[in-house]
Structure 1
Amino acid sequence: MKLNHVLSVDQFDKALIEELFYHANWISKAKGHSISHLRGKLLANLFYEASTRTSSSFFAAMSRLGGRVLPINDVTFSSVSKGEILEDTIRTLACYTDIIVLRHPEKGAAARAAAVSPVPIVNAGDGVGEHPTQALLDLFTILAEQGRIDGLSVTMMGDLKHGRTVHSLSRLLRLYDVTVNYVSPPELRMPPDLVRPADREVVELDEVLAGTDVLYVTRVQKERFESTGDYHYALTEDHMARAKPTMSVMHPLPRVNEIPLSLDADPRAAYFRQMQNGLFVRMALLMYLLG
C-alpha cells in the first residue's frame, strides 16, 4: 500500500500503521537526531489557521531529517489576501517544493488541494473534518503508554462535535478491538456517523471513569460555533484519585481549563510525551511520502 497524499485516516490499514510505527520507534530511540534522509527536500508549511504544535512539529520534523521548510503561517500577507483560490496557491507552491502540509478552515480543503497537486499533500486539519497525523501520533502514544491497543477502554471527553482530532482518532480506533466512550454535553456530541453501536455516549465522566484506560481530553472549540452555553468539562484531582493507577491522560493541546497545571506532575499525564511522539511519527511519515 502506497500513499500519494495523507488526507484521512481511512487511508491507513494496520500493516501501514505498523510500518510507520516501526520507523517512528526507531527515530524515537535516536530522539530525532542525525537522521538526514531528506537532505535537499523542501516542505511548504501552508497554514490558513493559527497553529503552534502542528506547524512547529512539521517544521522540526523536516529540519531534523535534513530538509528545509518554506513557512507560510499567516496568509494575510500572501496572495490569498488578494483573493487567490486554494487550487492556484497549491499549484504555485508545488512548483517550488516537494511536499505541502496544509491546514485550512474548510472541511474537504485537503482533498481539493490533492486533486490539483503533483506533490504530496498532508492534511494538517481541515475545519471540523479530520486531522490524520494527530490521530496517528495519538495512536502511537496509546501504544507507547499502555503497551497495547487491543482490549483497552478509551474515553474521549469535551467538544466532540467540533474536535477534528477526536473525529480522526475514533475512525482509526475502528481497526482495533477497543471499547470507546464519549463524554460530552448533548449539544457537543460526536457526529452520529462516527458512533458505532457498541460505543457508549454519556454526559458525566464518572459514568465511565473507573474502567477507562486512556482518557482523551479536548477543549471546547468556541471559535467554531456561536453559543452562550457553559460547556466547560474539566479533569480534577478527585477524578485522578478515583481513576486507574495505570490510566493515561492525553490532550491534543492547547488546553484552556480542562486539565489543571497541578496534574502535570502526575506520571499518568501523557500529553507532553504525546507532543514529542508527534515529532517522531511525522518524521516517519515524511520519510515514507518522500522516501
Structure 2
Amino acid sequence: MPYFIGGAHVLKGASCDNCAKITSRFERDVSRDLWGDARIAYDAPSRRKKNRPKIMLMRDPYNQDRKLRVLPEDYPAVMIFYRMRKAGILQGLPETVDLSSTWELVTPTDTDKIERFTAKYGQRPIMSFKNVPDSFARLLAKVAYGQVLCSLDPDDFRPICVPYILGQKKNISYVVGGRWSYSEMKPGIGYEMRTNCIKFPGRLLIIVEIQIIPNNVTPTYHVLVGDVQGDEEADRVYKKIEATYSFDVTNTSTYKPVDDDVFHWMPSNWPLPAWTC
C-alpha cells in the first residue's frame, strides 16, 4: 500500500528497477493528479512535506485572470474515487469488453468544511483534479498482488493481474472491479485488504478486496490476482492462504448462492467458463 495513502505494509525489494519505474508512474498519477490537492489540504503522508505549498491557489469562476489564495487547512478538497461494477472476468465477459466507461466518479464530501470555506472566502470552493481511471485501477491491482504475496510465494499461482499492472495488457477493467453499493463506515481504519479464494474442481481463484479510507463513504474494490490449476495444487494453496472468505464449490450439493451485494467479487455464473488469460 503506497505511503501517500498512509500505507504501512511494504514488501522490501519487491520490484526490479524497470518495474519500479512503471508502478511509480501510475502511483504518481494518483497521488499528484487525482488526489494532489486533497493530500495537501488534509496533510496526508508525504516524504516531501517541507516542499508543500503554504498557500493553495483556487481559480475564480467569475474572473479567469484571478486566483484566490487559500490556506490548505481551509480548502475542502475532494478525494476522487471510481465506483465500479464487477470485473469483466468475473462476469464471464471476453477480455475485449472494456467496462471502464461505466465507472462513475464519486467522492466523500465534507459539507461542514465547505460551509466554513464559503463563509470565510465569500464563494463556494472550486475543486480541481485530473481524471486517471487506468492509473487508479492499476494501483489497486499492484496493491492486491502485494497483498497475496504476503501469504503465497510467486511460484504458488499464475499471476493473471501482472500484465495489467505493467501495462502489457490494457483493459484493466477485466480484472479490477468493485461493489456498486457502499459498505458501512469503519471508524479508525485507514485502509483494509482481504485475501479471498474460491475453489472449483481443478482450479482455485485468488481475489483481493480493498477499501481505502473505510472510515468514510468510499467504494470497496476487488482484483482477480491469479489462479491455480490442478486439484492437488489448488488444495495446497487453498490451505496456505489465510483467507477472510473462502468458498469450496467442488461439492455442488452443499454450495449455496451468496448475496452478490455482500460478496461482490464472486463470479456471476456457476460453473465458470474455461477462461484463458
Q: TM-score range by the shorter chain?
A: under 0.3
**CA radius of gyration, larger in:** 2
Q: What's the TM-score once normalised by structure 2's chain length?
A: 0.27
Higher relative contact order (CA 8 A, sep 6+): 1
Higher strand share: 2
